Amino acid sequence: MKYGSDLYAKIELEYERRRREAREKSDFYKDKMLAIPDFAAAVERLKKARFEAAKARFDGDERKRAEELAKIEKETEILRKIQEENGVTTEMLRPAFTCAKCKDTGINESGKTCECYYSVALKVALETLGIKEKDFADFKNVKHLDKNNLKAIYGKIKKYCDTFGVGSKNILLSGNVGTGKSHLAECIAGELVKKGFAVVFLTATELNGLLLRYHTASFDEKNLYFEILTDCDLLVIDDLGTEPQLKNVTVNYLLTVLSERLSNDMPYIVTTNLTQDEIISKYDERIHSRLLDKKHGVHIEIKGEDLRLLK
């Protein structure tokens, strides 16, 4: 795989880092065990037995092969006991790659891009913009369910998470500051991540930065940035309306992203303090229509008090 841009090069460096760390850890335990004379001797006897067994199989000498297989079993048991005495498992002697399918190369056994490549690309792209991975809220730790009709809303949202998939509804969460919109969006994201879905959760300001990077990127990088926003299972945009408006960037590309996800039945969740009129004024009717599209989405307006002021 060739990398013709800075972003792709950084992705490859991330894979290299993962491979190096996995091997360094296993090499540490290998060196520890090989420093034990009995273990090192058993390893050499095991290698020789495997070689002789393979040779006997090639020669068609089944008696010799059976003898060598017995030796392999004996030496393997010796190694296991020595490892056990030293608190080292066989798994610890093997590189613990982050992705077992591609061994942290980004390419699977069939020579195609591995499933993990998307998550690595996302991590690198966000780190490039100074955006750290988020620790999402959890449904188990929700407070003030007796306020702002949250008990009923959270009940519906849990069902949404249970049945989530391609074609799930888009959600617009609106309401005054502190009514629980962002926390609710985080709970959805956290629940779906635990289920194995690829979720991109960005504040509107972070999204703006990503769109600006897309605007100035090379052709190859443009594709990658665009895929990050359009190919994930769920895109969450938090606090829409708080970001600065960048000419030829914010509205234009936001519209493109929402339209692309709509056309492919890929859901998105948007939280905002803006009213519908304010959305039209700050953006335009096209974005308003995509956020309020009743066919593909639902609008949940959370009314009530500022929960941040409560103990």
118 pLDDT higher than 80: no
pLDDT above 90 covers what percent of the chain?
Answer: 58
pLDDT computed for residue 306 by the predictor: 58
pLDDT computed for residue 1 by the predictor: 32
The arithmetic mean of pLDDT across residues 48-62, rounded, is 94
The arithmetic mean of pLDDT across residues 89-111, rounded, is 91
pLDDT computed for residue 135 by the predictor: 81
pLDDT computed for residue 311 by the predictor: 56
Distance set, CA 186 to CA 149, 154, 161 (Å): 18, 12, 12
pLDDT computed for residue 4 by the predictor: 37
Rg (CA), the chain: 27
**The domain at 131-309 falls in which architecture?**
3-Layer(aba) Sandwich (3.40)
The arithmetic mean of pLDDT across residues 5-13, rounded, is 82
Band (28; pLDDT cuts 50, 70, 90): very high
Band (3; pLDDT cuts 50, 70, 90): very low
139 pLDDT higher than 80: no
2 pLDDT higher than 50: no
Q: If you average pLDDT over every residue of the chain, what do you get?
A: 87
Claim: this prediction has a pTM higher than 0.85: no
pLDDT computed for residue 144 by the predictor: 59
